[in-house]
Amino acid sequence: MKGRRVASAGVAVVLVALVAAYGGPDAYAREPAPDAVTTPFTTGSDTAAAARGAKLAAIGNCVTCHTATGGQPLAGGLPLQTPFGVIYSTNITPDDETGIGGWSLDAFARAMRRGESGDGHLLYPAFPYPHFMHISDADIGSLYAWLMSRAPVNARAPHNELIFPLGFRPIMAVWNLLYLHSGAEAAPSPSSEAPDVARGRYLVESLGHCGACHTPLNRLGAERRDLALQGGTIDGWDAPALTGLASGPTPWTQAQLVGYLRTGLASAHGAAAGPMRAVTRMLADASAPDVEAIAAYLLALPSGGPSVPEHAVASPPAFAPASASAARVPVSTAPGNGANLFAAACASCHAEGAPMSIDGARPSLSLSTAVNADSPRNMVRIILEGIDWHESDNALFMPSFANTFTDAQIAELANFTRERFTSRGAWPSLDAGAVAQFRKDGQPR
């Protein structure tokens, strides 16, 4: 389940008109009912299926999206920020009253493939059923078996907070007619495709729903399939293009991409942050061959758009390893103070020769996608939010500086870092006002 962007109230008016034109709530009923799932999983008692479902759920990132901060796993309530308002994820534990405990396997399949809840109401595509419609019967059954084996939690999700009149769910009947079939079909696998690449294609297009973040959306919140996996925006972060990974200025290798997907770190490329950090945490529990297949497919994708920004390295940073007291040095607020800000807050980890860079295998900032990106969005968001600790041996950590530096200081720090570690120069658009907007984008609405 992913956040949505780029819409207006005028879109809602158009949808209402389309609902009237297509016959209102009955429009969806004209679609043929999906075929029943024939795989013989009917309860959560099939332990082998449930174990397989757990691995598949890790690829689908189910726990992350269906768990509120501080809440019970899979009990829902996580607010998903969209340009249309806030949508709260639902309870998918086997609770009879507030979850899916009363759903049959076929009802579960309809929700996954058609966006139709167990009681018949239509779901919003923040739940990515346009991708899940491609999941096989066997995988649907395994996911169902796993979910039904979880502990039931009685928890009702808050009401969605959508702009008028998008709370009127029959509107989604028209959206489905427009995009659920012709606009969201998975490309068929070529007969000559290697088995691991074909498996990766299936996982990326279906359960992994990578395009929900990494593909730009149109004004109605549907993926632009002509720009599939060429980059998007999610929850105020830029999701980079997944095309041409093997042919960029610093090409990814299979080992690097698998390592990144399972740990959130690639020594030649950078660390996962923002929404991608949660994805890598889940993929650590996925089947290793499946993650390897995902990497194989992504590396087989040709470049589909603008070239990846050159990792153009400037002269080597001249910062000596910072002492332990460096972070406590008072920092001037005078303009042009990016070097002092870096020395005080960043050099102990990111300066050339710093112990954390040597012993911790941290990639050079000259290789960072965020530092090299055309947009400063991700660089600023990382400085503001950091990377939270996850209490594991291979966990990455970076403190948040949101309450440490002003918007002007963050702009100076980010621009200095880009100038110092690359030859691309400062971001012309990055100033205190831009940082203030990025800061606002990251706050709950």
List alpha helices for 99-148, DSSP H. 105-114, 129-132, 137-148
**Complete DSSP assignment for 248-275:** SSS---HHHHHHHHHHSEETTTEE--TH
Query: Which helix H or strand E contains 438, and what residues bound it?
Result: helix 432-441
- Sign of the torsion formed by the C-alpha atoms of 157, 158, 164 and 167: positive
Residue pLDDT, tens place only, 295-317: 999 999 998 755 444 434 444 44
Over residues 48-77, the mean pLDDT reads 96
Nearest-angstrom CA–CA distance, 413 and 410: 5
Which residues touch 437 (CB under 8 Å, ≥6 apart)?
none
Which residues touch 98 (CB under 8 Å, ≥6 apart)?
91, 153, 154, 155, 156
Q: Which two tokens stand for residue 388?
A: 């939270």
Which residues touch 122 (CB under 8 Å, ≥6 apart)?
28, 115, 116, 169, 170, 172, 173, 176
Percent of the chain with pLDDT over 90: 60
Residue pLDDT, tens place only, 407-442: 999 999 999 999 999 888 999 999 999 999 999 887
Over residues 365-387, the mean pLDDT reads 91
Torsion of CA 369, 370, 373, 375, to 10 degrees: 160
Phi, psi of 269 (to 5 degrees): -140, -35
Q: Is 238 helix (H, G, I), strand (E, B) or coil?
A: strand
Strand 85-88 relative to strand 161-162: parallel, antiparallel, unpaired? antiparallel
Question: Which of 21-30, 190-199, 203-212 shows the lowest per-residue confidence on average (mean pLDDT)?
Answer: 21-30
Over residues 251-278, the mean pLDDT reads 91
Nearest-angstrom CA–CA distance, 408 and 402: 12
Q: How sure is the predictor about 375, in pLDDT bands with cuts at 50, 70 and 90?
A: very high
Asked if omega into 170 is within 30° of 0 (cis), the reply is: no
Residue 336 confidence (pLDDT): 61
Residue 356 confidence (pLDDT): 60
Nearest-angstrom CA–CA distance, 278 and 283: 9
Please answer whether residues 122 and 116 qualify as being in contact, where contact means their C-beta atoms are separated by less than 8 angstroms.
Answer: yes
Q: What is the mean pLDDT of the chain?
A: 82
Over residues 387-403, the mean pLDDT reads 73
Residue 193 confidence (pLDDT): 86
Over residues 389-403, the mean pLDDT reads 72
Which residues touch 181 (CB under 8 Å, ≥6 apart)?
none
Q: Which two tokens stand for residue 282?
A: 């889940």
Percent of the chain with pLDDT over 70: 76
Q: What single-letter amino acid sits at 242?
A: L
Residue ranges of the domains in the chain? 9-179, 197-232+240-300, 326-441
Nearest-angstrom CA–CA distance, 320 and 348: 9
Nearest-angstrom CA–CA distance, 426 and 419: 6
Question: Which of 176-180, 215-219, 332-336 shows the lowest per-residue confidence on average (mean pLDDT)?
Answer: 332-336
Give Cα 54 distance to the centre of its chain. Answer: 19
Which residues touch 344 (CB under 8 Å, ≥6 apart)?
326, 327, 329, 331
Residue pLDDT, tens place only, 231-254: 999 888 999 999 999 988 889 999
| pLDDT reading at 344 higher than 70 | yes
Residue pLDDT, tens place only, 146-204: 999 999 999 999 999 999 888 899 999 999 999 987 444 455 556 678 999 999 999 99
Over residues 366-376, the mean pLDDT reads 89
List alpha helices for 169-235, DSSP H. 171-179, 195-205, 211-214
Q: Please state which CATH number belongs to domain 326-441.
A: 1.10.760.10
Q: Which of 264, 294, 267 is nearest to 389 (CA)?
A: 264
| pLDDT reading at 33 higher than 60 | no
Question: Which of 56-65, 150-159, 269-278 shows the lowest per-residue confidence on average (mean pLDDT)?
Answer: 269-278
Residue 325 confidence (pLDDT): 34
Give Cα 355 distance to the centre of its chain. Answer: 31
| pLDDT reading at 12 higher than 90 | no
Residue 310 confidence (pLDDT): 40
Q: What single-letter amino acid sits at 162?
A: L
- 162: number of Cβ within 10 Å: 18
Nearest-angstrom CA–CA distance, 2 and 213: 7
Nearest-angstrom CA–CA distance, 247 and 56: 29
Nearest-angstrom CA–CA distance, 167 and 161: 8
Question: Which of 120-124, 192-196, 207-211 shows the lowest per-residue confidence on average (mean pLDDT)?
Answer: 192-196
Please answer whether residues 239 and 233 qualify as being in contact, where contact means their C-beta atoms are separated by less than 8 angstroms.
Answer: yes
| pLDDT reading at 281 higher than 60 | yes
**Which of residues 342 and 389 earns the better pLDDT score?**
342
Nearest-angstrom CA–CA distance, 139 and 143: 6
Nearest-5° Cα angle at 39, 123 to 288: 80
